Amino acid sequence: MDSLTTPVPDISRSEALRRRYGSILPAADGPWNETIAGLLDHRSVRGFLPDAVPAGTLETLIAAAQSAATSSNMQLWSAITIDDPATRKELATLAGNQKHIEDCPLYLCWIADLSRNQRLSEAEQVDFESLPWLETFMVACIDAALAAQNAVVAANSLGLRTVYIGAMRNDPARVAELLGLPPKSFVVFGLCVGYADPAAKHEVKPRLPQSTVLHRERYDATPETRDRAAYDAELENFSARNEMAATTWTKRMLNRMGPIASMNGRERLRATLARLGFDIR
C-alpha cells in the first residue's frame, strides 16, 4: 500500500442510515465498514473550491472506472477531460448555466462509444451486425454508468466530491461538435470533480424507503402509498433545512415529469442521436 488516505466518515451504521432514510429505517442490523460508510455518505456537490486535484488523480479515477464490469468485455465507453475555459463556458451555458461546470478543477465527459468498435469492424472488414440495436445502445450507456460510478466512489474516497451533469443531453449534437466526437459516440453525462466549498451546505439527501424500492420474489407496490406520504414529509423537511423552497417529493415529481417543457429539449434525443450515427432499432 503506497499510502492510506481514505477520509472515513466517522459515523455509525445507524446514524448513516438515519441520514439516508430519515425516520423510515430499514429493519435489520447488517455489516458495516469504512467503504460502505463512504458510499452512504455520498451527496452531490455543486459548490467547489478552486484547488486543483492531486497529480495522478485523473489516472487513478480512470483505472477505477475501467475496473468496473463491462458487458462481454466490450468496453463501450470513453471519457474526455475538458480544461479549456471557453469550452467549459459553453458547456455550462448549454447545461442551463450550471456554473460549477466552469468552476470545478476536473470536468469529465462520459461517452457511450460505439465508434471504437465500429472502427474495429472496418479495420477487420467484418460487419458488426449487433451495432444498430437498442440493446447495444443501452449496453454502451450502462457500461459508461458503471465506469463513472466507480470513478465517483474513488473520488469520494479521496475526499473529493462530484456531481453528474445529465444536462449534457440538452444538446448532444453541439457537445459532440465541441469535443470532436466521431459518429456513433455521444456524451451520456458530465461529471464535476473537486473539493467541496465548505461555505455551501451539502446534506445527505434522504431517499425513498427500502420497502418501496426492494421487493422479494415478486414486485409488490403495497407499501408505496404509505411510504410516499412519509417520504414527502422527509423531503419537505430536508428542503426547508437546506434553504430550498420546502416541497415534497410528490410535488417535485409532478414538476419534473409532468410538463414536457421540463425536459429542456431532451425529448429530441432520439432524433439527435440518429443524426450522430446511432441507429436504435
Q: How far apart are CA 7 and CA 99, in angstroms?
A: 27
**CB 182 → its own copies: shortest distance, Å?**
6
Would you state the torsion angle of the CA atoms of residues 171, 173, 169, 254, taken in this order, to the nearest 10 degrees? 50
The footprint of its own copies on residues 54-73 (CB under 8 A) is 54-60, 62-64, 66-73
Among 154, 175, 192, 230, binds its own copies (CB under 8 A): 154
Per rule CB under 8 A, is residue 180 in the interface with its own copies? yes
Per rule CB under 8 A, is residue 18 in the interface with its own copies? no
Nine-digit cell string for 260: 414536457
The footprint of its own copies on residues 123-152 (CB under 8 A) is 123-124, 126-131, 133-136, 138-139, 141-142, 145-146, 148-150, 152
The footprint of its own copies on residues 93-112 (CB under 8 A) is 111
Phi/psi at 11 (5° precision): -135, 155
Which is nearer to its own copies, 93 or 121 (by Cβ)?
121
From the list 89-97, 98-106, 179-187, 194-202, the region that binds its own copies by CB under 8 A is 179-187
Q: How far apart are CA 23 and CA 18, in angstroms?
A: 7
Cα 237 to chain centroid distance, Å, stands at 25
Among 51, 85, 198, 217, binds its own copies (CB under 8 A): 217
Count of alpha carbons within 13 Å of 176, Cβ hemisphere only?
Answer: 23
Per rule CB under 8 A, is residue 216 in the interface with its own copies? yes
Sequence-separated (6 or more) residues with CB below 8 Å from residue 219 = none
Task: Look up cell 414529509; give the residue.
Answer: 233
**CB 202 → its own copies: shortest distance, Å?**
13
Which is nearer to its own copies, 50 or 67 (by Cβ)?
67
The footprint of its own copies on residues 222-281 (CB under 8 A) is 224-225, 228, 249-250, 252-254, 256-260, 262-263, 266-267, 269-270, 273, 280-281
**CB 98 → its own copies: shortest distance, Å?**
13
Per rule CB under 8 A, is residue 51 in the interface with its own copies? no
Pick the closest to residue 132 from 145, 142, 118 (CA basis): 118
Would you state the torsion angle of the CA atoms of residues 191, 195, 196, 199, taken in this order, to the nearest 10 degrees? -140
